[in-house]
Amino acid sequence: MEKVRLYDKTFRPFIPNEKIMDSIAKTAEKINADFRGCEDIPILLCVLNGSIMFTAELMQMLEFNCELVSIKLTSYEGTGSTGHVKQAMGLTADIRGRRVIIVEDIVDTGNTIVELKRILEEHGAAESKVCTMLFKPDSYTKDIPIDYVAMEIPNDFIVGFGLDYNEIGRSLRDIYILDE
């Protein structure tokens, strides 16, 4: 794996694709254990755009029927969070009375999770769980439990496997970290 340049920034290799896929498989096992044999059809809520790749890989490993729904929230500009979460696209289906598994690419401060939980409650979800590919425990400031964490990472800016820097870098198979 070599360094990559995106606009004005250089990123160095951080997490290879094999490790990403292994952590997704382990996360799917935990979710399968919790939902195996369920009579209802839970919703997998893909938080666009960042979690598309994670959601696609995870969904293929789930052993129960589920419905895919999307929502798009924004809070990042460049390499930093604005601290304000805006809904760029609402829920793509009715979730009233349904169990929802929120699928996030990354959880750092937790502001997006708070907003997602509020939206789901407002729309009548019966229950919601949080699943994230990447979790930054050093940045997380909220009380909401993160139910499924594929990998914990330090509080650094990363790109790849769905994560972007000003909308590019999502297509990288591996995850890269900002090379200061």
Token readout for 94 is 């009715």
Q: How many CA atoms lie within 13 A of 86 on its CB side?
A: 7
Looking at the annotation, which residues are catalytic?
108
CA-CA distance, 24 to 139, in Å (whole number)?
22
Of the candidates 71, 136, 177, which has an alpha carbon nearest to the alpha carbon of residue 169? 177
| Nearest-angstrom CA–CA distance, 115 and 42 | 20
